Structure 1
């Protein structure tokens, strides 16, 4: 019952400070301790027993799925979310994004800038997936 509220809060609020990310993760940490038989286990053990990922991973995964949809044109042309592609010679995946520069912290947490490092670190077979479902499976495996 707690998890949907946390996911909604992350999608609307999008915490970027470490203390805020930790606060959201602590809610899940406390809620998982309340379940019978899991109180004396560590947080990673509880997540594994419940078969759920951490909130930090869920946010990153959601961002990568949205990036995949944007790059592969799953959205209508009216939606203008231009991600700058890296045009020079690259190592790694064939759909690398260019990292923009900014001076303010507020700009650094923008979707376009916060996803670049993670997206560029993905292997080529993951970013070249033929569907969203296939991308999700390959991303989880990676």
Structure 2
């Protein structure tokens, strides 16, 4: 972000979004499915980087953080990490990766459950680190999704139905 600020004296919303989405946000979200911060200090550290970056738009500098996000049509990084977790879970369970990673998840085959057919069973864990694996982290949000979202025929359709 420092280099972008040095290269551009002032940024419009459109140019900021293009530069931010191309150069900065990928760095902040790199491998978030594998390494998802669970300590509050790590979450705040990442969010602080986005908070600082959104202040570079001159017309939004004095607005509160969430209002800046609204003006730029961005969401918090933790919301994006949760959405990415759901997208990767969809890719894994539907076999879009070309590698069978479905053993990461335990499908609950109990037919008495309401909702979609790919309900996940909560894995047991003994450590705090295991609690934050993708399969345990995504459990509640995945099971709460409606059946028409889970039964999407493509990744893009699934992403569109998430919002």
User: 1:12 Cα deviation (Å)?
Assistant: 6.2
Q: What's the TM-score, normalizing by structure 1?
A: 0.88
Give the Cα–Cα distance (whole angstroms) in 2 for the partners of residues 13 and 43 of structure 1: 25
Aligned to 1:37: 59
1:134 aligns with 2:157: yes
Shift >3 Å, 4+ stretches: 9-13, 78-81
**Which residue of the partner structure matches residue 123 of structure 2?**
100
User: Within 1, Cα distance between the matches of 2:57 and 2:77?
Assistant: 18
Q: Spell out, residue by residue over 1:101-138, the C-alpha distance to the aligned partner (whole angstroms, 9 max, x if none).
A: 11210110111111111101111111111110000000
- How many residues in Structure 1 have an aligned counterpart in Structure 2? 139
Which residue of structure 1 lines up, in the alignment, with residue 12 of structure 2?
Answer: none
Consecutive unaligned residues of structure 1, counting only runs of 5 or more, are: none
* 1:122 counterpart residue number: 145
- Greater CA deviation, 127-136 or 78-87? 78-87
3-state SS of paired residue (1:60): helix
Name structure 2 gaps, 5 residues minimum.
1-19
Q: Is residue 46 from structure 1 mapped to residue 46 from structure 2 by the alignment?
A: no
- d(CA) in 2 for partners of 1:94 and 1:44? 36
Q: 1:114 to 1:11 in 2, by over 3 A?
A: closer
Match of 2:108 in 1: 86
Q: 1:37 aligns to what SS in structure 2?
A: helix
* Pair 1:66 & 2:88 matched: yes
Q: Report deviation, 1:15.
A: 1.0
